[in-house]
Amino acid sequence: MSAGILATMASVAQTGIEPISGPIGIEPISAPVDGAVPTPEITWAALLPLIILGLGGLLLLTLSSLLKRKAPRALYPIWTIATAVLAVASVVPVWAKVQGFNSILWWDFRDLWWQPATTAPGPFSTLGGAYGVDGFSLFVTVLICCAVILTTLLISGYLQREELDGPEPYALLLLAATGGVVMAGANDLIVLFLGLETISIAVYVLAASHLRRAQSQEAGLKYFILGGFSSAFFLYGIAMVYGATGTTNLVLIKSSLAESIPRHDLLLLVGFAMLLVGFGFKVAAVPFHSWSPDVYDGAPSPVVAFMASAVKVAGFAALVRVFVAGFGQYAADWQPLIYALAVLSLVVGSSLAIVQTNVKRTLAYSSISHAGFILIAVEAASETGTAAVLFYAAAYTFMVAGSFGVATLVGRAGDGRHSLDDYKGLGRTNPVLAGTLTIFLLAQAGVPFTVGFVAKFYAVIAAVQAGSAALGVVAMLSAVIAAFLYLRIIVAMYMAEGDDGGSDAPADPADHIHVPRPAAAALAICVLVTIGFGLFPGWLTDMAADSTVVLVEQGSTDASTALPGGQTLIVDDEGNLVPAGDGAVAPTEASDPSADPATGDGAVEAPQVQDPAAAEGTASVERP
């Protein structure tokens, strides 16, 4: 809460009912506050991704109930994808503001309506400091939207094949994404918990959404019960941290931890441990992983793609936000815990994966070992580590969505043919599909020239830079073990003979797998990303590095992340990004709407950049 609001409240308090002096000789009790409550300012433009996703989901339901059966089958997936694309588009201007760009490519943001026209470029928070808008949360928002798009492409064919219909899965996807976006930007533990529950409850239902398949129902129930259990731990952890620091707001927690040593250190540490249990469950880190093979096996395959991508990404985003950014002061206390989780996840995940006979279970265990890789980047607790987490999360989203996308198709009607035997001879009967899966598996194994290699590289670099070289060694060794399991599937596809005997037998037409067009599009996107960012990782690396996580109070902007001297980049006449002439930042409030950006004279007077020191000062003020 800003100093201004505090001052207002204090002055209102003085003019109220006459104060009384306390019986034990201390300050008088202030009277109840009269008059209007100072409501928090809301930067709606920054909340647009959230609003678009949530509203898109609700409108989809309304639309479907109005149209009843008359809606064309393609309407729901197209609506869902359009919503997600719109949400990504709405991120762009916010990203520009956070990074201090006036425009990106041809899109000029200077005249864009900002409510309120807040301060200088840089990360900021809104809604009474409950929601932080920084590069980190925006990056994760885009990732989650990508996961929604990929899942929608996969699930549309799936629902048709399984003779399930209705708009609910799509609506739940969009609402789950809303929860994930909330988690990514939550600056308050309560908000974080609500985001976590939003994404979780939607995914519990999605996991059980194959109503005619007992395994799906069972998976949903298992996930629900264990998830509820872990949420309780998480909530208890929040209570402990509140008990130790007196607030649930991460900004205030950070400043309170920086200023004073809590009297009850134990309370805080127990809080850390319990929060980690909750996070560990969501990202399926050993020893909180036991649900994941069963649930991945039973849940509909496209939903598993969503669980392994969006839910994990949101979980890791929240983990980084809370621990690296919020509890950074106590890194020495929680790092050993993450260290242990990472080592266990890497070793147990990759070793148990190689003895599975079911491909979906194998991928589930491999996903556990990937979680271990991301954890070693979290353990670094540095900016490099955060960037590595984001890069890995981005790479993994596409690799895993592709892998489970192929599993969706190979599972065939009934979604039950996932044993390794079902993949035998796939290279002969469906060469394209087998080739696609091979690319994803090789990328997950970390073969060079795929995005998986770059991701593993950065994660290990971050660990080594943070002084955890041993962790890097464990990670690389487990990557070698994991490579075996991916090769095992590849060998089954190409080398092993099918059930029909000799490899030169003509392919049975019944073995040919029908690939719906949307699913083919999803796989194509995943292949492009996997190979493209493997060959040219520069752009994604820069984006991840720019996506720093910053905790700022509402009303202040963290100017330190903007370019030095309040300088900013603008697009000149040739379309190149150049530093603005006289260090000018275009304030949206003062900018002249009629100014033509193309004439190049769009740079107007710089706004009063709030002193970062003053912002720090307000952070320490106790809330009323």
Which residues in the 214-233 window bind other proteins by CB under 8 A?
A: 214-215, 218
Give the helix ranges, DSSP H, for 411-500.
426-429, 431-445, 451-465, 469-494
| Interface of this chain with other proteins, residues 487 to 516, rule: CB under 8 A | none
Nearer to other proteins, 19 or 600 (CB): 19
Single residue of 20, 473, 505, 535 touching other proteins by CB under 8 A: 20
Of 94-102, 177-185, 304-312, 504-512, which part binds other proteins (CB under 8 A)?
Answer: 177-185
Single residue of 144, 240, 305, 433 touching other proteins by CB under 8 A: 240
Based on the shown chain and the rule CB under 8 A, indicate whether residue 131 belongs to the binding site for other proteins.
yes
Q: Other C-beta atoms within 10 Å of 8: how many? A: 15
Q: Minimum Å distance from CB 262 to other proteins?
A: 6
Six-digit token string for 433: 């599909």
Contact 450, 442 (CB under 8 A): yes
Nearer to other proteins, 186 or 580 (CB): 186
Six-digit token string for 602: 């769009």
Contact 164, 318 (CB under 8 A): no
| Interface of this chain with other proteins, residues 410 to 449, rule: CB under 8 A | 414, 416-419, 421
Nearer to other proteins, 237 or 587 (CB): 237
Six-digit token string for 477: 């060794």
Nearer to other proteins, 222 or 456 (CB): 222
Based on the shown chain and the rule CB under 8 A, indicate whether residue 345 belongs to the binding site for other proteins.
no
Q: Tokens 């009323």 sit at which residue? A: 624
Q: Minimum Å distance from CB 384 to other proteins?
A: 31
- Phi then psi for 274, rounded to 5 degrees? -70, -40
Nearest 5°: the CA angle 414, 201, 150 is 55
| Interface of this chain with other proteins, residues 187 to 206, rule: CB under 8 A | 188, 190-191, 194-195, 197-198, 201-202, 204-205
| Interface of this chain with other proteins, residues 292 to 331, rule: CB under 8 A | 293-294, 297
Single residue of 81, 352, 374, 551 touching other proteins by CB under 8 A: 352
Q: Tokens 């690389």 sit at which residue? A: 476
C-alpha 179/C-alpha 103 separation (Å) is 29
Nearer to other proteins, 134 or 197 (CB): 197
577-579 vs 569-571, strand pairing mode: antiparallel
Of 141-149, 186-194, 429-437, 479-487, which part binds other proteins (CB under 8 A)?
Answer: 186-194
Single residue of 81, 145, 175, 445 touching other proteins by CB under 8 A: 175
Of 74-82, 212-220, 531-539, 587-595, which part binds other proteins (CB under 8 A)?
Answer: 212-220
Q: Minimum Å distance from CB 186 to other proteins?
A: 9
Q: Minimum Å distance from CB 191 to other proteins?
A: 5
DSSP state of 566: G
Q: Other C-beta atoms within 10 Å of 24: how many? A: 5
C-alpha 138/C-alpha 143 separation (Å) is 9
Q: Minimum Å distance from CB 537 to other proteins?
A: 35
C-alpha 321/C-alpha 185 separation (Å) is 8
Nearer to other proteins, 165 or 596 (CB): 165
Residue 419 gets the label, from left (phi > 0), alpha (psi -120 to 50) or beta, of beta
Q: Which of 375, 302, 293 is CA-nearest to residue 339?
A: 375
The residues near 254 (Cβ < 8 Å, ≥ 6 apart) are: 325, 326, 327, 328, 329, 551, 619
Of 22-30, 321-329, 386-394, 570-578, which part binds other proteins (CB under 8 A)?
Answer: 22-30
C-alpha 234/C-alpha 338 separation (Å) is 16
DSSP letter for each residue of 70-132: GS-TTHHHHHHHHHHHHHHHHHHHHHHHHHTBSEETTEE-TTS--SS--SSSS-EEETTTTEE
Q: Minimum Å distance from CB 119 to other proteins?
A: 20
577-579 vs 107-108, strand pairing mode: unpaired
Nearer to other proteins, 130 or 552 (CB): 130
Six-digit token string for 470: 């041993």
Q: Minimum Å distance from CB 619 to other proteins?
A: 15
Based on the shown chain and the rule CB under 8 A, indicate whether residue 209 belongs to the binding site for other proteins.
yes
C-alpha 353/C-alpha 523 separation (Å) is 24
Q: Which of 243, 323, 257, 315 is CA-nearest to residue 285?
A: 315
Of 258-266, 378-386, 402-410, 488-496, which part binds other proteins (CB under 8 A)?
Answer: 258-266
Of 129-137, 143-151, 339-347, 519-527, which part binds other proteins (CB under 8 A)?
Answer: 129-137
C-alpha 5/C-alpha 612 separation (Å) is 18
Single residue of 98, 171, 341, 570 touching other proteins by CB under 8 A: 171
C-alpha 539/C-alpha 544 separation (Å) is 9
Q: Minimum Å distance from CB 294 to other proteins?
A: 6
Q: Minimum Å distance from CB 217 to other proteins?
A: 9
Six-digit token string for 117: 């026209």
| Interface of this chain with other proteins, residues 24 to 83, rule: CB under 8 A | 24, 26-30, 32-33, 37-40, 54, 58, 61
Q: Minimum Å distance from CB 84 to other proteins?
A: 17
Nearer to other proteins, 246 or 538 (CB): 246
Nearer to other proteins, 1 or 363 (CB): 1
Q: Minimum Å distance from CB 175 to other proteins?
A: 5
Query: What string marks each residue from 561 to 600 as x (binds other proteins by CB under 8 A) or -?
Result: ----------------------------------------
